[in-house]
Amino acid sequence: MRFFKLALERKFNQGRRSQYVVASCLYLVCRVEQTSHMLIDFSDKLKINVFTLGQTYLKLRRTLGLQNVPIIEPEIYIRRFAMELDFGPQTAKVAKDASRLVQRMDRDWMSSGRRPAGLCGAALFIASRMNNFDRRVKEIVYYVKVSDATVKKR
Protein backbone atom coordinates (compact mmCIF):
# COMPACT_ATOMS: atom_id res chain seq x y z
CA MET A 1 0.00 0.00 0.00
CA ARG A 2 2.83 2.37 0.89
CA PHE A 3 4.52 2.05 -2.51
CA PHE A 4 1.19 2.48 -4.29
CA LYS A 5 0.38 5.61 -2.27
CA LEU A 6 3.80 7.04 -3.09
CA ALA A 7 3.22 6.28 -6.76
CA LEU A 8 -0.14 8.07 -6.61
CA GLU A 9 1.40 11.09 -4.88
CA ARG A 10 3.98 11.37 -7.65
CA LYS A 11 1.26 10.87 -10.29
CA PHE A 12 2.97 7.74 -11.59
CA ASN A 13 -0.37 6.16 -12.43
CA GLN A 14 -1.31 8.81 -14.99
CA GLY A 15 -1.21 7.33 -18.47
CA ARG A 16 -0.68 3.79 -17.19
CA ARG A 17 -3.09 0.98 -16.56
CA SER A 18 -3.72 0.47 -12.87
CA GLN A 19 -2.98 -3.26 -13.03
CA TYR A 20 0.56 -2.52 -14.25
CA VAL A 21 1.12 -0.06 -11.41
CA VAL A 22 -0.34 -2.41 -8.78
CA ALA A 23 1.63 -5.41 -10.09
CA SER A 24 4.83 -3.33 -10.12
CA CYS A 25 4.22 -2.27 -6.52
CA LEU A 26 3.57 -5.87 -5.46
CA TYR A 27 6.70 -7.07 -7.23
CA LEU A 28 8.70 -4.33 -5.55
CA VAL A 29 7.52 -5.60 -2.17
CA CYS A 30 8.47 -9.15 -3.20
CA ARG A 31 11.96 -7.96 -4.12
CA VAL A 32 12.38 -6.08 -0.83
CA GLU A 33 11.11 -9.07 1.18
CA GLN A 34 13.15 -11.45 -1.02
CA THR A 35 10.34 -13.88 -1.78
CA SER A 36 10.49 -16.35 -4.64
CA HIS A 37 8.00 -14.51 -6.87
CA MET A 38 9.10 -13.51 -10.34
CA LEU A 39 7.81 -10.75 -12.58
CA ILE A 40 6.55 -13.32 -15.06
CA ASP A 41 4.32 -14.81 -12.31
CA PHE A 42 2.44 -11.52 -12.04
CA SER A 43 2.31 -11.28 -15.81
CA ASP A 44 0.82 -14.76 -16.13
CA LYS A 45 -1.84 -14.21 -13.46
CA LEU A 46 -2.93 -10.86 -14.85
CA LYS A 47 -2.50 -11.93 -18.50
CA ILE A 48 -0.46 -8.84 -19.32
CA ASN A 49 2.75 -8.34 -21.27
CA VAL A 50 5.79 -9.15 -19.12
CA PHE A 51 8.02 -6.68 -20.96
CA THR A 52 5.61 -3.79 -20.45
CA LEU A 53 5.30 -4.79 -16.81
CA GLY A 54 9.08 -4.86 -16.50
CA GLN A 55 9.35 -1.38 -17.98
CA THR A 56 6.69 -0.13 -15.57
CA TYR A 57 8.53 -1.70 -12.64
CA LEU A 58 11.84 -0.08 -13.61
CA LYS A 59 10.18 3.32 -14.08
CA LEU A 60 8.45 2.94 -10.70
CA ARG A 61 11.77 2.23 -9.01
CA ARG A 62 13.33 5.25 -10.67
CA THR A 63 10.36 7.48 -9.79
CA LEU A 64 10.41 6.41 -6.15
CA GLY A 65 14.20 6.69 -5.96
CA LEU A 66 14.67 3.05 -4.95
CA GLN A 67 17.97 2.18 -6.59
CA ASN A 68 19.13 -0.05 -3.73
CA VAL A 69 16.51 -2.80 -4.06
CA PRO A 70 18.22 -6.09 -3.15
CA ILE A 71 19.38 -8.42 -5.90
CA ILE A 72 17.58 -11.75 -5.88
CA GLU A 73 19.86 -14.68 -5.19
CA PRO A 74 19.19 -17.76 -7.35
CA GLU A 75 18.96 -20.05 -4.31
CA ILE A 76 15.61 -18.48 -3.43
CA TYR A 77 14.07 -19.89 -6.59
CA ILE A 78 15.65 -23.34 -6.48
CA ARG A 79 13.46 -24.69 -3.71
CA ARG A 80 10.33 -23.41 -5.45
CA PHE A 81 11.25 -24.92 -8.82
CA ALA A 82 12.34 -28.21 -7.25
CA MET A 83 8.95 -28.56 -5.55
CA GLU A 84 7.16 -27.83 -8.84
CA LEU A 85 9.27 -30.44 -10.66
CA ASP A 86 8.11 -33.04 -8.10
CA PHE A 87 11.19 -35.02 -7.12
CA GLY A 88 9.21 -36.73 -4.37
CA PRO A 89 11.04 -37.49 -1.14
CA GLN A 90 14.34 -36.45 -2.69
CA THR A 91 13.22 -32.87 -3.39
CA ALA A 92 15.35 -31.46 -0.58
CA LYS A 93 18.45 -33.34 -1.76
CA VAL A 94 18.02 -32.21 -5.37
CA ALA A 95 17.47 -28.61 -4.21
CA LYS A 96 20.59 -28.77 -2.03
CA ASP A 97 22.69 -30.14 -4.90
CA ALA A 98 21.34 -27.45 -7.22
CA SER A 99 22.13 -24.76 -4.63
CA ARG A 100 25.68 -26.03 -4.35
CA LEU A 101 26.00 -25.92 -8.14
CA VAL A 102 24.76 -22.32 -8.24
CA GLN A 103 27.19 -21.37 -5.47
CA ARG A 104 30.00 -22.93 -7.49
CA MET A 105 28.87 -20.99 -10.58
CA ASP A 106 28.97 -17.83 -8.48
CA ARG A 107 32.51 -18.53 -7.26
CA ASP A 108 33.61 -19.04 -10.86
CA TRP A 109 31.91 -15.78 -11.93
CA MET A 110 29.54 -17.68 -14.19
CA SER A 111 26.51 -16.05 -12.61
CA SER A 112 27.47 -12.41 -13.01
CA GLY A 113 25.18 -10.61 -15.42
CA ARG A 114 22.84 -13.60 -15.64
CA ARG A 115 19.24 -13.74 -14.56
CA PRO A 116 18.66 -16.15 -11.69
CA ALA A 117 15.98 -18.26 -13.37
CA GLY A 118 18.33 -19.49 -16.10
CA LEU A 119 20.98 -20.45 -13.58
CA CYS A 120 18.41 -22.26 -11.46
CA GLY A 121 17.11 -24.17 -14.45
CA ALA A 122 20.57 -25.35 -15.46
CA ALA A 123 21.48 -26.27 -11.89
CA LEU A 124 18.23 -28.19 -11.39
CA PHE A 125 18.76 -30.03 -14.67
CA ILE A 126 22.24 -31.15 -13.60
CA ALA A 127 21.12 -31.93 -10.03
CA SER A 128 18.22 -34.03 -11.30
CA ARG A 129 20.62 -36.08 -13.42
CA MET A 130 23.01 -36.40 -10.47
CA ASN A 131 20.17 -37.92 -8.45
CA ASN A 132 19.03 -40.31 -11.21
CA PHE A 133 15.93 -38.39 -12.30
CA ASP A 134 15.23 -38.30 -16.00
CA ARG A 135 14.03 -34.71 -16.39
CA ARG A 136 14.08 -33.28 -19.87
CA VAL A 137 15.07 -29.72 -20.65
CA LYS A 138 11.49 -29.07 -21.80
CA GLU A 139 10.18 -29.95 -18.33
CA ILE A 140 12.66 -27.61 -16.68
CA VAL A 141 11.81 -24.85 -19.17
CA TYR A 142 8.08 -25.18 -18.45
CA TYR A 143 8.50 -24.43 -14.74
CA VAL A 144 11.48 -22.07 -14.82
CA LYS A 145 10.01 -20.03 -17.70
CA VAL A 146 13.16 -19.47 -19.70
CA SER A 147 14.02 -20.76 -23.15
CA ASP A 148 15.60 -24.16 -23.66
CA ALA A 149 18.61 -22.47 -25.27
CA THR A 150 19.18 -20.54 -22.03
CA VAL A 151 19.19 -23.71 -19.94
CA LYS A 152 21.54 -25.45 -22.38
CA LYS A 153 23.96 -22.50 -22.46
CA ARG A 154 24.13 -22.26 -18.69
DSSP string, the chain: -HHHHHHHHTTTTTTS-HHHHHHHHHHHHHHHHT-S--HHHHHHHHT--HHHHHHHHHHHHHHHT-TTPPPPPTHHHHHHHHHHHT-GGGHHHHHHHHHHHHHHHHHTT-STT--HHHHHHHHHHHHHHHTT----HHHHHHHHTS-HHHHHH-
Phi, psi of 136 (to 5 degrees): -85, 160
Tens digits of per-residue pLDDT, 20-40? 999 999 989 888 888 878 888
pLDDT of the residue at 3: 86
Q: Is the pTM of this model over 0.75?
A: no
- What torsion do the CA atoms of 121, 126, 128, 131 make, to the nearest 10 degrees? -160
Comparing C-alpha atoms, which of 73, 74, 31, 23 is closest to residue 51?
Answer: 23
The C-alpha atoms of residue 43 and residue 23 are separated, in whole angstroms, by: 8
**pLDDT band at residue 129 using 50, 70 and 90 as cut-offs:** confident
**What are the pLDDT digits (tens) for 5-19?**
888 889 888 888 888
